[in-house]
């Protein structure tokens, strides 16, 4: 019986040893650190993973209090003896769990769970090294942050580009931006309108890819020099367009990077065609004024010499006739100087209007009679709504406008014929003057109300300073109305103006 007991006892031990054997093998090879603490939280078992984490052999850890092995901290707080002792508090088991930093062989991020075995009063600490997971999480987080930053950066860059585009689009000048290789980066709306090429068409292309050789040469001119010298270059350029050449003031300047190297260049083309034309018109005007003044003066000089001769010879009647002719020439000069004065006043916004309510129908009729008196070849006909209408304005100036239109109608229909004045009254009063003369070209119609402009008339025999319509247009505008022309070459013109009622 004793032998049987002994045999069974040996078998039990052997079975237990077999179980413990594989259990230890499993524990030894686990990735998680297993630390079992007994009385007073002294270590009674630590597996190989704990040894790996702490850098100490498992045997040397036996009997060592757990707080001396697991130097844990969370944030700035390090777990002290008391914190571990709370695990086995008088009230019961208080698990220690969560994410900590373990200061062992190296600093590790660990996740800890604790289990209590009440029967034998032991605590099992399971410690998982999550440093890699943490690193992976951090890497993932960093990647996300980097992606978000990149998106923000890209959005910021796009916002900046949009802002810049809006700024340059608002400019009334042509603006373009090129890189150091003279490839287009950005252009504004004015560029697109003038050249018919927008940002989508020009990006990365050079002038030679986009324009005729003549235009390309102008747009490319000085690019290398500007980037090389870092200096601004101004020049006047003429670029051909379908409606003829236009003149530009070209300003090109380099843009510098943080190291003060020029790496881009900006070009601004300001259309100065109008200014150029005005300058040309002024020159023509001076010549015209000279001619217009010189002619009556020469005539007057001739008449005065003849008169002197007539007086010396006692021919009073002939002298008086000559005086009358001199007077007529003086009157021409006076009209000329009045026009000049008016133009100068318009320029300085000095023209004063003596505004009163007056009968416009009566004024139209009176002015028509004055104009009719000047010509025998033309018939001035009044049509439309000829009721007695009153408007607020400067009667004398409006009369001057109407007379100017009628004089022009007479002048530009040199072969004579009908001149029709038509009145319309609805929300505003419209007076139009129609002739059947030589008409005005489409191009001249665009500038007909410009100061000094005479257009094709300059080359004709018809006299004038090109001031009348400018003055008329200014007078009407200052009354709150507008003036316009419709004309066809060879068929005549209709000038009409409106006045508020």
Partner 1 sequence: MSRFEEILDEKEIPVIAAGQDGIIFFINRSFEDEYGWSEDDLVGNALTIILPPYTRDAHNLGFARFLSTEAHRILDKKISLPVYCKDGSVRKAAHFITGEKKDGEWQFAALLDPQTGE
Q: Min. distance of Cβ 69 from partner 1 in angstroms?
A: 13
Using CB atoms within 10 A of its CB, is residue 153 exposed (0-12), middle (13-18) or buried (19+)? exposed
Tell the smallest beta-carbon distance from residue 83 to partner 1 (Å). 21
Please report how the helices 273-312 and 316-347 are oriented relative to each other, as an axis angle in degrees rounded to 10. Answer: 160
- For residue 451, the SS3 value is coil
Contact 45, 61 (CB under 8 A): no
The H-or-E segment that residue 300 falls in is helix 273-312
Shortest CB 78 distance to partner 1, Å: 25
CA-closest candidate to residue 474, choices 339, 338, 351: 351
Label each residue of 129-180 as H, E or C. Answer: ECHHHHHHHHHHHHHHHHHHHHHHHHHHHHHHHHHHHHHHHHCCCEEEEEEC
Q: Which is nearer to partner 1, 46 or 413 (CB)?
A: 46
Shortest distance in whole angstroms from residue 20 CB to partner 1: 3
**Residue from 14, 156, 229, 324 in contact with partner 1 (CB under 8 A):** 14
Looking at 11-19, 159-167, 209-217, 263-271, which segment touches partner 1 (CB under 8 A)?
11-19
Site for partner 1 in 54-73 (CB under 8 A): 58-59, 62-63
Which one of 16-24, 152-160, 172-180, 322-330 is the stretch in contact with partner 1 (CB under 8 A)? 16-24
Residue 419 CA to residue 431 CA, distance in Å, equals 13
The residue among 13 and 297 lying less far from partner 1, judged by its C-beta, is: 13
Distance CA 274, CA 447 (A): 10
Q: Which of 7, 8, 19, 232 binds partner 1 (CB under 8 A)?
A: 19
Please give the C-alpha separations between residue 63 and each of 30, 35, 48, 79, 342, in angstroms, as whole numbers. Answer: 22, 12, 16, 19, 116
For the bound state, the minimum distance from the C-beta of residue 66 to partner 1, rounded and expressed in Å, comes to 11
Interface with partner 1 (CB under 8 A), residue total 27
Binder to partner 1 among 16, 139, 141, 167 (CB under 8 A)?
Answer: 16
Site for partner 1 contains 110 (CB under 8 A): no
Q: Among residue numbers 22 through 61, which ones bind partner 1 (CB under 8 A)?
A: 22-25, 27-28, 36, 38-39, 42-46, 58-59
Q: Rank residues 62 and 146 by Cβ distance to partner 1 and give the closer one.
A: 62
Nearest CB to partner 1, comparing residues 45 and 247: 45
Q: Which stretch binds partner 1 (CB under 8 A): 19-27, 168-176, 447-455, 462-470?
A: 19-27
CA distance 481 to 495: 13
Q: Examine residue 20 and tell whether it contacts partner 1 (CB under 8 A).
A: yes
DSSP 3-state assignment of 185?
A: strand
**Torsion angle of alpha carbons 203, 205, 211, 213, nearest 10°?**
160
Residue 117 found at the interface with partner 1 (CB under 8 A): no
Q: How far is the CB of 41 from partner 1 (least distance, A)?
A: 11
Which three-class secondary structure state does DSSP give residue 255? Answer: strand
Q: Provide the minimum distance between the beta carbon of 55 and partner 1 in the complex, in angstroms, as a whole number.
A: 17
Smallest gap from Cβ 104 to partner 1, in A, equals 19
Q: Which of residues 201-220 bind partner 1 (CB under 8 A)?
A: none
Q: How far apart are CB 62 and partner 1 at their closest, in Å?
A: 5
Nearer to partner 1, 117 or 320 (CB): 117
Distances (CA, A) of 240 to 211, 273, 275: 11, 12, 17
Find the shortest distance in angstroms from Cβ 58 to partner 1: 7
Are the CB atoms for 100 and 113 separated by under 8 Å? no
Beta carbon nearer to partner 1, 38 or 414: 38
Q: Which of residues 417-436 bind partner 1 (CB under 8 A)?
A: none
Q: How far apart are CA 339 and CA 212, in angstroms?
A: 46
* Residues from 444 through 473 that contact partner 1 (CB under 8 A): none
Strands 378-384 and 417-425: parallel
- Are 499 and 481 in contact by the 8 Å Cβ rule? The answer is yes
**Smallest separation (angstroms) from partner 1 to the CB of 38:** 6
Report yes or no: 433 and 419 within 8 Å, Cβ to Cβ: yes
Measured from the CB atom, is 11 or 298 closer to partner 1? 11
Kindly tell me which of 46 and 409 has the beta carbon lying closer to partner 1.
46
Contacts of 344 by beta carbon, 8 Å cutoff, 6+ apart: 350
Residue of 21, 170, 480, 500 interacting with partner 1 (CB under 8 A) = 21
Q: Shortest approach of partner 1 to residue 111 CB, angstroms?
A: 24
Q: Name the one residue in this structure whose structure tokens are 């340059």.
A: 168
Q: Within 348-467, where are the H helices?
A: 360-374, 395-411, 442-447
Q: Which of 2, 17, 172, 348 binds partner 1 (CB under 8 A)?
A: 17
Instruction: Give the footprint of partner 1 on this chain (CB under 8 A).
Output: 10, 13-14, 16-25, 27-28, 36, 38-39, 42-46, 58-59, 62-63
């Amino acid at each position: 019986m004793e032998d049987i007991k002994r045999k069974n006892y040996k078998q039990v031990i052997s079975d237990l040893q077999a179980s413990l054997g594989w259990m230890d093998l499993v524990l030894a090879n686990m990735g998680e650190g297993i630390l079992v603490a007994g009385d007073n939280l002294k270590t009674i078992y630590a597996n190989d993973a704990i040894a790996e984490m702490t850098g100490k052999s498992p045997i040397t850890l036996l009997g060592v209090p757990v707080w001396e092995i697991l130097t844990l901290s969370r944030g700035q707080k390090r777990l002290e003896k008391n914190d571990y002792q709370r695990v086995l508090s008088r009230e019961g088991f208080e698990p220690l769990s969560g994410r900590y930093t373990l200061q062992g062989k190296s600093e590790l991020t660990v996740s800890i769970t604790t289990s209590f075995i009440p029967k034998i009063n032991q605590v099992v600490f399971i410690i998982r090294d999550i440093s890699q997971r943490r690193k992976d999480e951090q890497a993932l987080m960093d990647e996300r942050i980097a992606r978000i930053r990149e998106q923000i950066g890209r959005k910021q860059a796009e916002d900046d580009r949009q802002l810049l585009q809006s700024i340059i689009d608002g400019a009334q000048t042509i603006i373009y931006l090129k890189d150091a290789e003279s490839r287009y980066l950005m252009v504004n709306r004015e560029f697109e309108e003038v050249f018919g090429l927008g940002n989508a068409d020009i990006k990365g292309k050079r002038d030679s890819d986009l324009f005729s050789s003549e235009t390309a040469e102008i747009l490319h001119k000085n690019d290398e020099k500007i980037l090389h010298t870092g200096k601004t270059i101004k020049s006047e350029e003429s670029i051909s367009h379908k409606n003829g050449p236009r003149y530009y003031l070209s300003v090109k300047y380099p843009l510098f990077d943080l190291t003060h190297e020029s790496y881009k260049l900006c070009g601004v083309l300001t259309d100065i065609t109008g200014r150029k034309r005005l300058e040309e018109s002024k020159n023509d005007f001076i010549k015209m004024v000279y001619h217009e003044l010189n002619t009556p003066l020469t005539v007057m000089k001739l008449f005065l010499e003849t008169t002197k001769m007539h007086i010396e010879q006692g021919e009073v009647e002939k002298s008086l006739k000559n005086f009358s002719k001199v007077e007529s020439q003086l009157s021409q000069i006076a009209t000329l100087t009045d026009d000049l004065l008016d133009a100068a006043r318009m320029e300085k916004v000095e023209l004063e209007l003596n505004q009163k309510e007056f009968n416009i129908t009566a004024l139209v009729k009176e002015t028509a009679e004055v104009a009719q008196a000047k010509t025998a070849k033309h018939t001035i006909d009044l049509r439309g709504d000829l009721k007695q209408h009153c408007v607020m304005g400067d009667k004398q100036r409006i009369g001057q406008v109407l007379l100017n239109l009628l004089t022009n109608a007479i002048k530009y229909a040199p072969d004579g014929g009908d001149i029709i004045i038509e009145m319309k009254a609805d929300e505003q009063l419209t007076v139009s003057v129609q002739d059947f003369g030589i008409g005005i070209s489409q191009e001249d119609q665009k500038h007909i109300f410009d100061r000094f402009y005479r257009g094709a008339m300059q080359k004709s025999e018809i006299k004038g300073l090109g001031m009348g319509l400018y003055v008329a247009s200014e007078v009407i505008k200052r009354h709150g109305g507008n003036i316009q022309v419709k004309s066809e070459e060879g068929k005549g013109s209709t000038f009409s103006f409106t006045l508020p009622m």
